[in-house]
Structure 1
Amino acid sequence: MPGQIKVSEEAGARKIPLKRVALFTAGGVLFTVIAVGLGIWFGNHAPVGGVAERSVAVLPFESLSADPEEAFRAVGVQDQIRNDLAKIADLKVISRNSVMQYRPEVKRNLREMADALGVAYAVEGSVQRAADRVRVSAQLINARTGTRIWRKSYDSALDDVFAIESKIVKAVADELGAKLSAAEKETIEEKPTDKPLAYERYIRAGILLDGIALDARSADLRYQAVHLLELAVAQDSKFLLAYCRLGFTHQGLYFNGYDHTPLRLARATEAVEAALRLGPDRGESHLAAGLLYYYCYRDYDRARSELAIARRLLPNEPLIFATLGWIDRRQGRWQDHLRNVNRALELDPRNVFILHQVAGTYQILRRYNNLVATFDRALAVTPNDAVARVARGLAELDANATVQPGQVAVQQVLANGSADGVKIVDRWFNIALCARDANDAKRALGSMLQEGITWGANVRTPRSFCEGLAAREFGDNEAAMNAFADAREEMETVLKKQPDYAEAMSVLGMIDAALGRKEEAIREGRRAVELLPVTKDVMTGPELVRNLALIYAWTGEKELALDQIAAALQGPGPITYGQLRLHPWWDAIREDPRFDKLVEEAKKPVKVK
């Protein structure tokens, strides 16, 4: 059974007693925080609320088409059936992310699957295309007993597949005793598009976006998806779902710093506005709007309003609850954050991205035992996942200041094929620097894309900046200066398009500090913290505070750097015990006696509300 993230008085194996209110400053802002330990609970127990009798998982459909290129149709049929069932408030429907490991080519143990997902029933099926006809077969099974409840096959013209999907959805709902409202029935019967090629492009874009958030190649994959989705909406200007997915893809490029420009923001906004015009009463449109306000505008109140509408219309959509959880986290609302994450995990219990995000929460709170345990849980879901394996090693570095587990994980991943190097390159490069391994750092740089990497929430540094860091660490000052000069040019270009982009301003400050431009560096670092203070964003704000501490350290302002670290350690943030003890970018202040005390302070969990 899936476990839930739990608020308790424990953090991993260590008991964290409730403590009195404490005050701290970070980036010049005063906070009041109350200590509450955060724990994670595992075990063989039901998810929140137990197994609902009308709960179902739609498993991946098998493609029986002779042409392998037709496999996407099985993906599309499964998606549409799952999404339509999920609109029925009388059902509990598990997210697609959590069922993808139960592929038809892998032998399924339905009872184990039912326990893992917390469901009573499963839908299985197959799709076969022959010329301009399609055959879809589906069956509903009691997952706990293996008993077949219902089975039927449908043959139709290729462009009538949506009608087949609607019939399957209504049949399953009827067999489970679910009551459909008039609005639910109308939505289920509505065709997404009458353009088969537009729908194919929509599905193929979705396949590209699967698992993208944890992949260092995500920029390239997003650009490919944008291309397909723009073709889809050009072919069918009324294709609401394609506009929603297009808006989401633009948002990712903007938020993650791949293209943080007014033009990209405008494209994201235009796509969402088109979806709202086409479907003002559709949950998907309001979910897209909620994501837009959260990721692109940091308008948390407006995002919450849109997500509240989406929640009423899409009762089984885990992304709604997950996004509410991410908003809660950025606002430091930890109890609400964990409550919403639990609800998302109930609907999507094997979603590795959500588990990585939970791990991110424990990292910034310095709950190291919980951090490692969460990655263990992720690896139990996907034991061969390259990113999770290396992330687990980096968690050991954060917790115990040891590089060996991360190094071993990296080598194991690379032994399975160099193609995975680009997926793990951000963590790989970090581990290589902390290990002071010049050869490994060079290999990581060889796998790094031009867009570079993030060092935490979403502060992205270009590859040239990373090249400068490595060259400086390993004694090639001329190469370091050249690389930092290139990085400066890149950041200046970004800031010309968006002068108040705090993350880029912060990176420019670090670059100028490395280049010896002290006054500019300090001004830029301080300006970044002013633009995005911790009070506005508990995830990214502390990264900018850390970067300002680095700027002070690199420009010889040791006391200011130490003061900044001391203040930052009083609240959530990216400065961990292992990073502070091992990362070479702290070398400029490492010999100061105060630094050792700060390293010890970084072992302690953060006190939070």
Structure 2
Amino acid sequence: MSLRRFPEVVRNLDQVLNITPDDVDILATKAVIAQAEGDLPRAAALLAPLHPNADDSFLLETKVYQAILERRPAPAIARLKEILAKPDPALGYNNGELRFWLGWAQGVAGDHAAAQETWRQARSELEPFLKEQPDNYGLIGVMALTSMALGDKAAALALAQKAMAMTPIEKDALDGSAALDVLARVLAQAGEPDRAITAIQKLLSIPAGGFFSVGIPLTPALLRLDPMFDKLRNDPRFQKLAQSEAPKAADK
């Protein structure tokens, strides 16, 4: 996956599905790959029959991300509100993470006031966990993105850079690149196009993990689709990066 050899990965996943055709995680992983390739109809078809519960964060976030990439977030908003109306304490900071996703979906829907309120609540839910788990780079990443969504550029950059320092790419290529993914997203929204594009160029040039879903790496297709990069769309350097292509998996 980190090498972006998606056709090869899909062939391996299909071999598993030949044995266990209802394996939800494998189907969701195929959907994530379709998202990374920019094939949203194929991803939607794979995800449509899957109905995750709150404790299946991978599948749930994959479905929400699909709605965000399609820029049709209404069903995702409804589902997240339903889940978060009675949050399960056993899920720990995942409740705050889901609330970050809810705010993102609300923002994409144009309900910016609701998004801000949701993100404020997400931050208040995440903060106690961050005090207890100061070295949890995944938690730090969610808090960085939440802070940026709330317009707190200084806090977002400090958190993203902390995650980078904790997991340098030289020592851990996958977690380190996931932290760089967070930094790129923060910079893209923070009005730092030069630094954002440098980070994106780095991510596209190396075997990488991504911060979302199963560590799917950033791809040109995701650059074209993901709303977090909207502020860069008029930059010719970004446009060039977004037009390069990775090999596509065959439909199946």
TM-score range, shorter chain: 0.7 to 0.9
Alpha-carbon shift at residue 394 of structure 1 (Å): 2.5
Are 2:120 and 1:485 aligned? yes
Matched letter for residue 45 of structure 2: V
Are 2:226 and 1:583 aligned? yes
Q: Which of 1 and 2 has higher RCO (CA within 8 Å, sep 6+)?
A: 2
**Runs of at least 4 residues of structure 1 off by over 6 A?**
418-421
Match of 1:374 in 2: 12
Alpha-carbon shift at residue 570 of structure 1 (Å): 1.5
Q: How many residues align?
A: 234
Task: Determine the C-alpha separation between the residues in 2 that align with 1:432 and 1:559.
Answer: 29
- Structure exhibiting the larger radius of gyration computed from Cα positions: 1
Matched letter for residue 409 of structure 1: L
Residues 225-281 of structure 1: CA deviation (Å, up to 9, x unaligned): xxxxxxxxxxxxxxxxxxxxxxxxxxxxxxxxxxxxxxxxxxxxxxxxxxxxxxxxx
Match of 2:181 in 1: 546
Task: Determine the C-alpha separation between the residues in 1 that align with 2:129 and 2:92.
Answer: 14
Task: Determine the C-alpha separation between the residues in 1 that align with 2:23 and 2:65.
Answer: 19
Q: 1:516 to 1:436 in 2, by over 3 A?
A: same
Please say if residues 220 and 242 of structure 2, whose CA atoms lie closer than 8 Å, have aligned partners that are also in contact: yes
Task: Determine the C-alpha separation between the residues in 2 that align with 1:461 and 1:533.
Answer: 26
Alpha-carbon shift at residue 513 of structure 1 (Å): 1.1
Root-mean-square deviation (CA, aligned residues, Å) is 2.7
Please say if residues 168 and 176 of structure 2, whose CA atoms lie closer than 8 Å, have aligned partners that are also in contact: yes
Task: Determine the C-alpha separation between the residues in 2 that align with 1:596 and 1:452.
Answer: 39
Matched letter for residue 6 of structure 2: Y
Are 2:8 and 1:365 aligned? no
Write the mapping of 1:171-320 to structure 2, written as runs, cut at 5 A: none
Q: 2:21 aligns with which of 378, 383, 395?
A: 383
Q: 1:559 to 1:405 in 2, by over 3 A?
A: same
Task: Determine the C-alpha separation between the residues in 1 that align with 2:62 and 2:127.
Answer: 26
Match of 1:596 in 2: 239
Matched letter for residue 413 of structure 1: L
Between structures 1 and 2, the one with greater helix share: 2
Please say if residues 525 and 547 of structure 1, whose CA atoms lie closer than 8 Å, have aligned partners that are also in contact: yes
Please say if residues 160 and 182 of structure 2, whose CA atoms lie closer than 8 Å, have aligned partners that are also in contact: yes
Q: 1:420 to 1:413 in 2, by over 3 A?
A: farther
Task: Determine the C-alpha separation between the residues in 1 that align with 2:19 and 2:157.
Answer: 45
Write the mapping of 1:40-439 to structure 2, written as runs, cut at 5 A: 362=1, 364-399=2-37, 401-414=38-51, 422=56, 424-439=59-74
Are 2:150 and 1:515 aligned? yes
Structure 1 segments unaligned to the other structure (5+ residues): 1-361, 455-459
Q: 1:421 to 1:385 in 2, by over 3 A?
A: farther
Please say if residues 93 and 139 of structure 2, whose CA atoms lie closer than 8 Å, have aligned partners that are also in contact: no
Alpha-carbon shift at residue 447 of structure 1 (Å): 6.6
SS at the partner of 1:413? coil
Task: Determine the C-alpha separation between the residues in 2 that align with 1:602 and 1:499.
Answer: 38
Q: Structure 1 length as normaliser, TM-score?
A: 0.36
Task: Determine the C-alpha separation between the residues in 2 that align with 1:378 and 1:433.
Answer: 29
Alpha-carbon shift at residue 525 of structure 1 (Å): 1.1
Please say if residues 413 and 420 of structure 1, whose CA atoms lie closer than 8 Å, have aligned partners that are also in contact: no
Task: Determine the C-alpha separation between the residues in 2 that align with 1:481 and 1:505.
Answer: 19
Alpha-carbon shift at residue 484 of structure 1 (Å): 1.1
Q: 1:578 to 1:447 in 2, by over 3 A?
A: farther
Alpha-carbon shift at residue 493 of structure 1 (Å): 1.0
Please say if residues 407 and 431 of structure 1, whose CA atoms lie closer than 8 Å, have aligned partners that are also in contact: yes
Match of 2:192 in 1: 557
